[in-house]
Amino acid sequence: MFEGFMVDAWIVGSIVALVAGVVGFFAVLRGSAFAAHALPNGAFAGAAAASLIGVNVLLGLVVFAVGGALGIGVLGRRGRHDVATALALVAMLGLGALFISLSAAYAPQVYSLLFGEILGIAANEVLPTAALGLACVLVCIIIYRPLMLSSVLPEVGSSRGISTFAIELVFLVVLAIATAMTVPVVGSLLIFTLMIGAPAAARSLTDRPLAAVVLSSGLALLIVWVSIAASFQTDYPVGFFVGTLSAGSYVLGRLFSGFRGRRRRYLHRLALDPSPGAPSSGGIC
Amino acid sequence: MSAVLASLFASGFFSSEAVQIALGVGVIVAIVAAPVGVLTVIRRQSFAGHAFGDIGTAGASASFLVGLTPLWGLLLANLAGGAAMEGAGVERARSRDIATGIVLGAALSLAALFLYLDMTSTSTTGQTVTILFGSIFAIPTSTLPLAGGLGGVVLLVTLIFARPLLLSSVSPEIASAKGLPVRALSLLFLLTLGLAAALAAVTIGTILSTALLIGPAASALRLTKRPLSAVLLSALIGIFAIVVGIVLAYDSYRWPPGDRTWPVSFFVVMLVFAAYLLSGVPDLVRRRRQDSWSAAGGARSGAGQRSTGDDRSTGGQRSGAGQRARGHEPHHRGGAGPLGEMEA
């Protein structure tokens, strides 16, 4: 499981998980789950185009994902944001369908682009993935304060002279690059489960942003490691495990925060009502 | 004349049974998608509409596994998915996208497993592309009456509940103040959306079904604010995209690379996308004209107020023009009618 070709899979998988955890936290915070889903699908068209004209797949992924991000940003400025995202998404997927049918790619190849094939990662993909991942995290650190402010309180941000549109565009590009580098690992359809599931679970566990970022990266790392191991053992697609585990972690996080909220409300009620035998049913909440 | 027709329609277009079924199912889907799509855009649930496409992928791949018609799998999966999304809290605006995303992700991971099993258990490997990107020319004849029946159900439900659905979409607060069951209406809408998405997925594939559902409706709503005309316009755009897409795909056998047709879904999606871009043009032109108009009018009216005495008459006239221009502003910001107010 750790010999030769698998080492690259472990390294790339870990990089991808860390970046997904960091970038995904902001995606969840900004509520851009739909964009996080749309961009990898656009990247899929890029991969199909790259294999059609015979260039590096990663290049096609990045070019199309960034193009899609700019498209969503510009279209969403005028029209409704969700509609713009949906239409940019299907336009890129339609192109992808054309490229696939023109290049007559083998069906398994299409499948692995959509649902991931971590065992097929080549050694020469490790370095570009690491560089792109580092760039994404660095940009997130540099624009951390304005990004946080315009995500949580857009009105305050724009009154302080932070251009909401510029931040949105920069973030979409970061999201695009992060998803593009994830496509070869978990596939374009399932990246976003990793990007949404783990950070959403982390957010329901803690309210502090830094702790949530660390927690969500850790969760994503755990999910990817378990998935690679399980996929290696069972031969089932790695995307299946990543998707199921991410959704599962979100459900667990929600259950935990629900339990904590109930406990806090209960303690709060006890504090309000000095009598020890305070009624536990009915009441102020 | 016949030469033009021959260059437009490749030989055998009208006599082919596959084309006839494709046209029939396509037109049904375009009509059904119109009212549902308009409601989806008004409710800002494009993501849910797209999620149904992906959830349907799991259903369709499962039905391949057990040997059913894909439409049944799509239907069952989408109805279950609608209920799950409602249960996961789609209605609370803050967590709506996340809840949709989690349900969608879980469904997609199932789809990954089912497609993998499809590929390994049968000798054919084409299901991934067939399910995801559609194969309108390979629709079995039995699907036509089924699609017609289901489409009728969707149309009937939206027709019966048109007014409460529209009200609860435009303003949930007013609807609940009037005693309408907003929660039940939202579940009803999600189930209808699931049905319509399943129908759209049969024609242009699960992950592209969003195009037919959202695209024509969003274009129509940019052109008119009245719900009924939006529905009619959206149906027209949808039918146009489907029919022209089928014709072009049939013709594309004569295009490079020459030995195969281009996918129908590619043409349909691109036509829908072009319609959306074009539908923004009138608004853009109006906005630009009014911007320059109100800028010029505003400057002149300022001058008119400053000028006193000698040319009071022209000054008054000009400030009147300025007010008229300013009076137009709310019109182009929010649009007229009940939907415009909601959009602002």
- Written as one string, the DSSP assignment of A40-72 is HHHHHHHHHHHHHHT--HHHHHHHHHHHHHHHH
Angle at B269 between CA B150 and CA B334, to 5 degrees: 90
Q: When comparing pLDDT for A277 and A182, which is higher?
A: A182
**What's the rounded mean pLDDT across residues A147-174?**
81
Poorest-pLDDT segment among A62-76, A132-146, B57-71, B328-342: B328-342
ipTM of the prediction: 0.77
The upper half-sphere exposure of residue B284, i.e. CA atoms within 13 Å in the direction of its Cβ, equals 10
Lowest pLDDT segment from A42-51, B81-90, B236-245: B81-90
Q: Among 1.10.760.10, 1.10.3470.10, 3.60.130.10, 3.90.1260.10, name the CATH number for the domain at B2-259.
A: 1.10.3470.10
Of A85, A93, A239, the CB nearest to B112: A239
Which pLDDT score, from 0 to 100, does residue B302 have? 45
Q: What distances in angstroms separate CA A53 from CA A60, A100, A109, A178, B56, one per listed residue?
A: 10, 11, 16, 24, 32
pLDDT top residue among B178 and A186: B178
The answer, yes or no, to whether residue B200 has pLDDT greater than 80, is yes
Distance from CA of B116 to the nearest CA of A (A): 7
Contact in structure between B98 and A28 (CB atoms under 8 Å): yes
What confidence category does residue A61 fall into, taking pLDDT thresholds of 50, 70 and 90? confident
Cβ <8 Å between B105 and A192:
yes
pLDDT > 60? residue A268: yes
Helices B162-170 and B143-160 pack at an angle, to 10 degrees, of 70
Cβ contact (<8 Å) for B101 and A37? yes
pLDDT at B239: 93
From chain B, the residues in CB contact with A108 under 8 A are 119, 125
Q: In percent, how much of chain A has pLDDT > 90? A: 5
Residue A68 above 80 pLDDT? yes
Can you say whether residue B258 is alpha, beta or left, with left for phi > 0 and alpha for psi between -120 and 50 degrees?
left
Q: Name which of A18, A111, A258, A240 is nearest B128 in CA terms.
A: A111
Choose the mutation target among B42, B253, B269, B285 for the interface with A, i.e. most A CBs under 10 Å.
B269
Render the burial of A179-209: b for 16+ CB within 10 Å, e for the rest.
bbbbbbbbbbbbbbbbbbbbbbbbbbbbeeb
**Which chain B positions have a beta carbon within 8 Å of A182's beta carbon?**
none
What is the rounded average pLDDT of the residues B154-178? 88
Give the tens place of pLDDT for each residue, B259-283: 677 888 889 889 999 999 898 888 7
CB A15 within 8 A of CB A133: yes
- In this prediction, residue B38 carries a pLDDT of 92
pLDDT of residue A283: 40
d(CA A211, CA A209): 6
With cut-offs at 50, 70 and 90, classify the pLDDT of residue B207: confident
Q: Hey, are the CB atoms on B266 and A95 less than 8 Å from each other? A: yes
- pLDDT of A281: 45
Is residue B140 classed exposed, middle or buried when 0-12, 13-18 and 19+ CB atoms within 10 A define those classes? exposed
> Using an 8 Å Cβ cutoff, are A93 and B269 in contact?
yes
- 3-class SS of residue B141: coil
- Give the closest-approach CA distance of B228 to chain A in angstroms: 20
Instruction: Quote the mean pLDDT of chain A.
Output: 80
A222 or A232: whose pLDDT is higher?
A222
> Would you call B98 and A33 a contact, using CB atoms and an 8 Å cutoff?
yes
pLDDT at B127 (0 to 100): 67
Residue A186 · residue A20 · CB < 8 Å: no
Query: Nearest by CB to A33, which of B101, B109, B280?
Result: B101
- Distance separating alpha carbons of residues A252 and B257, to the nearest angstrom: 51
The nearest CA of chain A is from the CA of B38 a distance in Å of 11
The predicted structure's pLDDT at residue B125: 60
Count of beta carbons in the 10 Å neighbourhood of residue B254: 11
Q: Is the pLDDT of residue A248 over 80?
A: yes
The beta-carbon neighbor of B105 closest among A86, A104, A243 is: A243
Identify the pLDDT of residue B156. Answer: 93
Of A87, A89, A193, the CB nearest to B108: A193
**B147 has pLDDT over 50:** yes
pLDDT value of position B317 = 41
B344 pLDDT higher than 70: no
User: Are B98 and A41 an interchain contact pair (Cβ–Cβ within 8 Å)?
Assistant: no
Range with lowest mean pLDDT among A25-39, A202-216, B127-141? B127-141
Q: Are A45 and A99 in contact (CB under 8 A)?
A: yes
Estimate the share of chain A in helix, then strand, then coil, as percent rounded to the nearest 5.
Answer: 85, 0, 15
Helix (H) or strand (E) holding A95: helix A81-103
Q: Report the gap between the CA of B180 and the closest CA in chain A (Å).
A: 25
pLDDT in the model for residue B298: 53
Q: Which residue type, as a one-letter code, is found at position A177? A: I
Asked if B106 lies within 8 A of A247 by C-beta distance, the reply is yes
Q: Which residues of B fall within a CB distance of 8 Å from A93?
A: 133, 207-208, 269
Predicted confidence at residue B5, as pLDDT, reads 66
CA distance to B99, B175, B190, B241, B339, per residue, from B178 (Å): 28, 5, 21, 39, 19
- 3-state secondary structure labels for all residues of B186-233: HHHHHHHHHHHHHHHHHHHCCCCHHHHHHHHHHHHHHHCCCHHHHHHH
Structure tokens at B97: 């996208």
How distant is the Cα of A163 from the closest Cα of chain B, in angstroms?
20
- Give per-residue pLDDT as tens, B271-322: 999 999 898 888 788 888 887 777 766 555 444 444 443 444 443 344 444 3
Q: Round to whole Å and give the CA distance between A146 and B16.
A: 60
CB A39 within 8 A of CB A191: no
Q: Do the Cβ atoms of A28 and B105 come within 8 Å?
A: no
Q: Which residues of A touch B87 (CB under 8 A)?
A: none
Distance (Å) of CA B61 to CA B127, B171, B201: 8, 38, 12
The residue extents of the domains of chain B are: 2-259, 283-343
Q: What superfamily in CATH does domain A5-272 come from?
A: ABC transporter involved in vitamin B12 uptake, BtuC (1.10.3470.10)
| Contact criterion met (CB < 8 Å) for B109 and A193 | yes
Nearest partner of B279 among B215, B339, B232, B227, judged by Cα:
B215
Residue pairs between chains A and B whose CB atoms are closer than 8 Å: 190
What integer pLDDT is reported at residue B204 of this predicted model? 79
The stretch B314-334 carries a mean pLDDT of 39
CA distances B228 to B56, B67, B221, B269, Å, are: 29, 41, 10, 24
Instruction: Look up residue B279 and give its amino acid.
Output: S
Cβ–Cβ of B116/A37 closer than 8 Å?
Answer: no
